[in-house]
Amino acid sequence: MSFPLYAPAEEHDLLRETVRALADDKIAPRAAEVDETGEFPFDVLKALTDADLHAVHIPEAYGGAGADALATVIVIEEVARACASSSLIPAVNKLGTVPLLLSGSEELKRRYLSAVARGEGMFSYALSEPEAGSDAAAMRTTAVRDGDGYVLNGTKRWITNAGVSEYYMVMAVTDPSAGARGISAFVVEKGDEGFSVGAKEKKLGIKGSPTCELYFDNCRIPADRLIGEEGTGFKTALATLDHTRITIAAQALGIAQGALDYALGYVKERKQFGKPIAEFQGLQFMIADMAMKLEAARQLTYAAAAKSEAAMHGEKVKDLTFFSSAAKTAASDAAMEITTDAVQLLGGYGYTRDYPVERMMRDAKITQIYEGTNQIQRMVMARQLLK
């Protein structure tokens, strides 16, 4: 297996510089307020859209930037380094649209990918339900064929960017007797009759990205919104996660890098016992470990991104599922440790909202939970190894 684009090329480095400059200028100054108020940062969405960074993965054929998987990782990393909530703009736009890229008809791709690329609306992904979290195939939302349409009924839960997204990739049961093979994927639009969004969850972190329930009450959609064939929706949903768990790894890397960078600056400035605390070996060992864990997770994530890119180009990549779960788990576990250590390095100050590292620690936690808990990731990895 070759590793195309495994190592960042010059254009990746340039992209990183561009995104970092924009993030330092327009995103980082807003991060504390976004966290404090829990308001979705429409100004950040506009800044990202103006710079064509809101959904970089969309191919040029559909009016997108045509960024490869590694470039997409770099964009998400750099936005997350400043503000984890904002990094869910490019990340969730990818999550919502990969099912279309993998299994959608040309007509649906043209309609929706172009709209997202133009910045007309974001795209959320709706798999989980109140009784179907880790066991996603246990979903109960139904889609019943009726004439030239489908009628959807049910509830989705934990939907990222719900309400602010215009489009929703919704998995629903079309054949209740067929288990996972009876699930189909559909595009639902915000304005569809019978579709509504619940109240925002009150969360520990990523507060600037709304997480809500979606309600389908006899929600009628045209039959041409079906993605692929009936019964293929669960496979499309899991194949999508093979690509997008890598973007959660990217988010975790960015959060961790933000915390490490802040802590490095702090330990050089903060003096105790007559010298900067950076001169104490106990703290030097901590920062060395933090940077080592981060870089190890980054290399695994970039290797996973190279595999994702190869798979998107039609190559058969047998270990993509393993690499995607491994990258997500390694990066999110590293981010949790690194952000917790960053709080420790800042001592009492780190525990207050006057400094950004406690927010980063709270934001890091979700990366161990969503797009499949890290326990599910380990199960997925083990299944691949034992196959």
Q: Is 315 an active-site residue? A: no
Count residues binding ligand CAA (CB under 6 A): 24
Q: Is 210 in the site for ligand CAA (CB under 6 A)?
A: no
Q: Is 380 in the site for ligand CAA (CB under 6 A)?
A: yes
Q: Residues 71, 89, 241, 330: which binds ligand CAA (CB under 6 A)?
A: 241
For residues 213 and 371, which CB has a smaller minimum distance to ligand CAA in the complex?
371
Q: Which of residues 26-85 bind ligand CAA (CB under 6 A)?
A: none
Q: Residues 181, 220, 270, 378: which binds ligand CAA (CB under 6 A)?
A: 181
Q: Is 370 in the site for ligand CAA (CB under 6 A)?
A: yes
- The values of phi and psi at residue 148, to 5°, are -95, 20
Q: Which of helix, strand or coil describes residue 254?
A: helix
Minimum separation from the CB atom of position 151 to ligand CAA (A): 24
Q: Residues 321, 332, 367, 368: which binds ligand CAA (CB under 6 A)?
A: 321
Q: Is 341 in the site for ligand CAA (CB under 6 A)?
A: no
Minimum separation from the CB atom of position 245 to ligand CAA (A): 8
Minimum separation from the CB atom of position 88 to ligand CAA (A): 7
Q: Is 209 in the site for ligand CAA (CB under 6 A)?
A: no
Minimum separation from the CB atom of position 340 to ligand CAA (A): 22
Query: What are the E-state strand segments in 47-189?
Result: 123-126, 142-146, 149-160, 167-173, 183-189
Question: Which residue type sits at 91?
Answer: A
- The values of phi and psi at residue 8, to 5°, are -60, 135
Query: What are the E-state strand segments in 81-210?
Result: 123-126, 142-146, 149-160, 167-173, 183-189, 195-197
For residues 93 and 266, which CB has a smaller minimum distance to ligand CAA in the complex?
93
What gap in Å lies between CA 383 and CA 387, rounded to an integer? 6
* DSSP strand pairing (123-126 vs 167-173): parallel
Task: Render the burial of 293-327: b for 16+ CB within 10 Å, e for the rest.
Answer: bbeebbebbbbbbbbbbbbbeeeebeebbbbbbbb
Q: Crossing angle, helix 233-269 and helix 84-103, to 10 degrees?
A: 160
Minimum separation from the CB atom of position 158 to ligand CAA (A): 6
Q: Residues 35, 68, 78, 242: which binds ligand CAA (CB under 6 A)?
A: 242
Q: Are 283 and 269 in contact (CB under 8 A)?
A: no
Q: Which of residues 117-176 bind ligand CAA (CB under 6 A)?
A: 125, 127-128, 134, 136-137, 158, 160
Q: Residues 239, 264, 291, 381: which binds ligand CAA (CB under 6 A)?
A: 239
| Half-sphere exposure (Cβ direction) of 118: Cα atoms closer than 13 Å | 9
Q: Is 234 in the site for ligand CAA (CB under 6 A)?
A: yes
Helix (H) or strand (E) segment spanning residue 271: strand 271-272
Maximum distance among all Cα pairs of the chain, rounded to whole angstroms: 79
Q: Is 311 in the site for ligand CAA (CB under 6 A)?
A: no
Q: Residues 16, 235, 270, 378: which binds ligand CAA (CB under 6 A)?
A: 235
What gap in Å lies between CA 226 and CA 169, rounded to an integer? 10
Minimum separation from the CB atom of position 384 to ligand CAA (A): 9
The terminus-to-terminus CA distance of the chain in angstroms comes to: 19
List, by residue number, the catalytic residues: 371
State the residues that interact with ligand CAA by CB under 6 A.
92, 95, 125, 127-128, 134, 136-137, 158, 160, 180-181, 234-235, 238-239, 241-242, 321, 370-372, 376, 380
